[in-house]
């Protein structure tokens, strides 16, 4: 903190909105603060690897999903276990989400058994089960203030849209990447912009991040599916439903030229995680086997290396 006038920065933050981001980055996450971080407590309850964590909106509850096929709801600030959900999955749980506008009562889980389950925390029961995917379901996404709805990313190459007000048989295909990228494509991660919920980011088993404007995309049902290895294959009511201009691509400039070299060395570049900043202006991407990248989705910037 040496050399920083905190009072002056705080005053400028009140008067000038453009200094807010500088204030947050320079003071809220600074070396002295990071150096004071340490292990506060260990929360014991799972008997397998913990693959995913998710906070509720207030930051008072924490959900965890594990290879033991259970999801646990914690009160982390009290170091207490609130309840254990027997999810009914038969494969490792990869994603868990509190659904918005549910009073932290409804939780969704996604797993390696290709299924998505919805749970009621109060009754500890599975209220809905979606079996539409034909590949492992790696991530779920929700949008603030969008009730009853969430999305899934699967290794069958599709992004599905779920509405709890509809039958479990009515899960819709939002994007079928196999129609554009071939049958070997696997969707690994998705995130919804918290300020602009019509914007969705998706990562696959390649270095490209796709940004979809879902207002231009028509969700549709599949007529049939062939459960062959490599993803979803079938005709639908709206094949090739992405109109021109509804998709943007983000990739580190040096990676497309290096792809052939990575393939020769049997290394794959996979987008394993993607998330928007709270203001929706930045996109953080973890590229498995490579680096972590931060993209500005509003304006162009010169790249910085850390």
What number is the average pLDDT over the span 200-212?
94
Decide if pLDDT at 4 tops 60.
Answer: no
DSSP codes, the chain: -TT--HHHHHHHHHH-GGGHHHHIIIIIS-HHHHHT----------SS-EEEEEE-TTSS-EEEEETTSEEEEEEGGGTEEEEEEE---SS-EEEEEEPTTSTT-EEEEEETTS-EEEEETTTTEEEEEE---SS-EEEEE--TT-TTEEEEEETTSEEEEEETTS-GGGPEEEEETHHHH-TT--EEEEEE-SS-TTEEEEEESSSPEEEEEGGG---B-BS-----TTS----BTTSS---TTSEEEE--TTHHHHHHHHHHTT---EEEEEEE-TTSSEEEEEEETS-EEEEESSS-------
Note the pLDDT of residue 234.
42
Note the pLDDT of residue 17.
61
Residue 235 binned pLDDT confidence (cut-offs 50, 70, 90):
very low
Q: Which of 192, 187, 181 is nearest to 270 (CA)?
A: 187
Decide if pLDDT at 71 tops 60.
Answer: yes
How many whole angstroms separate alpha carbon 153 and alpha carbon 146?
Answer: 18
Residue 34 binned pLDDT confidence (cut-offs 50, 70, 90):
confident
Decide if pLDDT at 19 tops 70.
Answer: no
Note the pLDDT of residue 299.
84
Note the pLDDT of residue 199.
95
Q: How many CB atoms lie within 10 A of CB 57?
A: 12
Asked if 282 and 296 touch (Cβ cutoff 8 Å), the reply is yes
Q: Which residue has the higher pLDDT, 54 or 261?
A: 54
Least confident of 195-199, 265-269, 279-283: 265-269
Residue 3 binned pLDDT confidence (cut-offs 50, 70, 90):
very low
Q: Which residues does residue 52 pair with via DSSP β-bridges, in sequence order?
A: 65
Note the pLDDT of residue 38.
87
Note the pLDDT of residue 137.
98
Note the pLDDT of residue 1.
42
Q: Which residue has the higher pLDDT, 162 or 255?
A: 162
pTM for the full predicted model: 0.82
How many whole angstroms separate alpha carbon 12 and alpha carbon 9?
Answer: 5
Note the pLDDT of residue 24.
63
Locate 153 and state its tokens.
Answer: 């990313």
Note the pLDDT of residue 269.
81
What number is the average pLDDT over the span 123-143?
96
């Amino acid at each position: 903190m040496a050399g920083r006038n905190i009072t002056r920065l705080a005053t400028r933050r009140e008067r000038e909105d453009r200094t807010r981001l500088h204030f947050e980055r320079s003071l809220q996450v600074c070396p002295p603060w990071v150096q004071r971080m340490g292990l506060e407590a260990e929360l014991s309850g799972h008997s397998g690897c913990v693959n995913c964590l998710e906070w509720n909106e207030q930051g008072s509850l924490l959900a965890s999903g594990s290879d033991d096929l259970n999801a646990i709801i914690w009160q982390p600030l009290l170091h207490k276990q609130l309840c254990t959900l027997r999810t009914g999955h038969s494969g490792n749980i990869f994603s868990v989400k509190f659904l918005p506008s549910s009073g932290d009562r409804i939780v969704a889980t996604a797993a390696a058994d290709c299924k998505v389950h919805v749970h009621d925390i109060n009754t500890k029961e599975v209220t809905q089960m979606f079996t539409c995917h034909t590949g492992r379901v790696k991530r779920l996404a929700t949008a603030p203030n969008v009730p009853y709805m969430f999305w899934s990313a699967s290794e069958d190459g599709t992004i599905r849209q779920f509405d709890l007000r509809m039958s479990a048989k009515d899960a819709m295909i939002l994007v079928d990447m196999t129609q554009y990228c071939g049958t070997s494509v696997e969707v690994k991660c998705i995130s919804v912009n918290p300020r602009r919920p019509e914007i969705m980011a998706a990562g696959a088993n390649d270095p490209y991040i796709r940004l979809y404007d879902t207002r231009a995309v028509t969700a549709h049902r599949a007529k049939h599916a062939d459960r062959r290895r490599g993803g979803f294959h079938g005709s639908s009511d709206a094949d090739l439903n992405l109109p021109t201009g509804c998709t943007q691509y983000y990739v580190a400039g040096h990676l497309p030229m290096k792809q052939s070299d990575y393939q020769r060395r049997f290394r794959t570049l996979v987008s394993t995680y993607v998330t928007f900043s709270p203001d929706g202006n930045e996109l953080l991407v973890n590229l498995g086997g490579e680096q972590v990248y931060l993209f500005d989705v509003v304006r162009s910037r010169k790249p910085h290396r850390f």
